[in-house]
Amino acid sequence: MSNESVTVQLKQKKDFQFEISFGHNLPTILGDEPPPIGEGKGPSPAQFLAAAVGNCLSDSLFFAIKKYNGNPEPIECDVTATIGRNEQGRLRITHMHAAIQLGAAAEDLSHLERVLTQFEAFCTVTQSVGQGIPIDISITDANGKKLK
């Protein structure tokens, strides 16, 4: 098992607005809290977390399908993060739901049943976040057939 690390840099621009740099000549992104706390000029931390979960799930599913020479493109993923209050009345993400739609019909993807039972275990971000936040996943194919 390798121990890798990922580093991002945040620099405050104004109030709750932070410029987020990822290094390696990648574009910077402005993060901000939504009103009334911030101005909503960029994604919120909750949106970044939802995007990370959805991106990782989509990557993992794509990789697993491609491993069997399938073409699931284009994959779409909508992630909803539910925000509620804990016992102390503090805001927390209490639940997440990822809805993934494949760009191909299930019958055109070989070994799909096996892929659907295994791909989540290889998703680093979702498995990490899921230790503290329940995450439900639904998957449909290009014809709207519910696969998970």
Residue 45: enclosing H or E segment and its boundaries? helix 45-67
Task: Report d(CA 67, CA 28) in Å as an integer.
Answer: 32
Q: Residue 79 sits in a domain of what CATH number?
A: 3.30.300.20
Structural domain boundaries, residue 90: 45-140
In a domain, 146, yes or no: no
Q: Are residues 25 and 52 located together in one domain of the fold?
A: no
pLDDT tens per residue across span 92-112:
999 999 999 999 999 999 999
DSSP 75-136: PEEEEEEEEEE-TTS-EEEEEEEEEEE-SS-GGGSTTHHHHHHHGGGG-HHHHHHTTTS-EE
Q: Are residues 66 and 126 located together in one domain of the fold?
A: yes
Q: Are residues 112 and 122 located together in one domain of the fold?
A: yes
3-state secondary structure of 19: strand
pLDDT score of 145 more than 70: yes
**In the prediction, which pLDDT does 1 show?**
57
Q: Are residues 16 and 64 located together in one domain of the fold?
A: no
Domain tally for the chain? 2
**In the prediction, which pLDDT does 83 show?**
97
3-state secondary structure of 22: coil
In a domain, 10, yes or no: yes
Q: Are residues 105 and 84 located together in one domain of the fold?
A: yes
Return the residue matching tokens 């998970």.
148
Q: Are residues 119 and 134 located together in one domain of the fold?
A: yes
